[in-house]
Structure 1
């Protein structure tokens, strides 16, 4: 469970590092880059332990699959709540395909 919680936290930081600056396009690009690098540091402080703790319970491909699904869930919430975008049927269909992929990834 620690792996999942740490991955959720790391993805929240990384989503803000990669996309948070989009609300501030009037700021100089160099400021966005520096701010993103500063935020990404905290992402790494959670991501690396998450993978260390999870490796063994999960294999590398499973860890990556978990991370990608968490990334999409976090980004869906971010795009609605922070960027003010709406989710459409094609987003849900794509997510359903990824859930199917995760099912096969964890099928022994």
Structure 2
């Protein structure tokens, strides 16, 4: 296992994997004139890199976090990455309802990580 903190490493790797996956799933929306078959193959290539980050992140992260905690982190990270991607790459604004939805999800994450 790499020399980065075992609590931080999976988080960093999940962030990186989500950047790749977000581009694989949504990056092609700026290239709607491209043939769908080409877009699918390109997306598979990008997603291949995502898997090389996500699978080890979850494997190594399971030494520190539960599966539910890892999945919760994954979902929160996905939303953060997608929100940035949507605004910066797709030029789609986020509205108040998006922010409120993110707050609700953050509360759910709090419930998952809170020791009762």
- Following TM superposition, the consecutive aligned residue runs of length 4 or more in structure 1 with deviations greater than 2 angstroms are none
Counterpart for residue 15 of structure 2: 8
- The 3-state SS of whatever aligns with 1:58 is coil
- For structure 1, the residue ranges without an aligned partner over 5 or more in a row are none
TM-score in terms of structure 2 length: 0.92
Displacement of 1:56 in angstroms is: 2.6
Q: Encode CA deviations 1:69-95: one digit per residue, 9 max, x unaligned.
A: 000000000000000000100000000
Counterpart for residue 49 of structure 1: 56
Give the distance between the partners of 1:4 and 1:97, measured in 2 at CA: 21
Q: Looking at secondary structure, tell me which structure has more helix per residue.
A: 1
- For structure 2, the residue ranges without an aligned partner over 5 or more in a row are 1-7
Displacement of 1:107 in angstroms is: 1.3
Give the distance between the partners of 1:69 and 1:102, measured in 2 at CA: 8
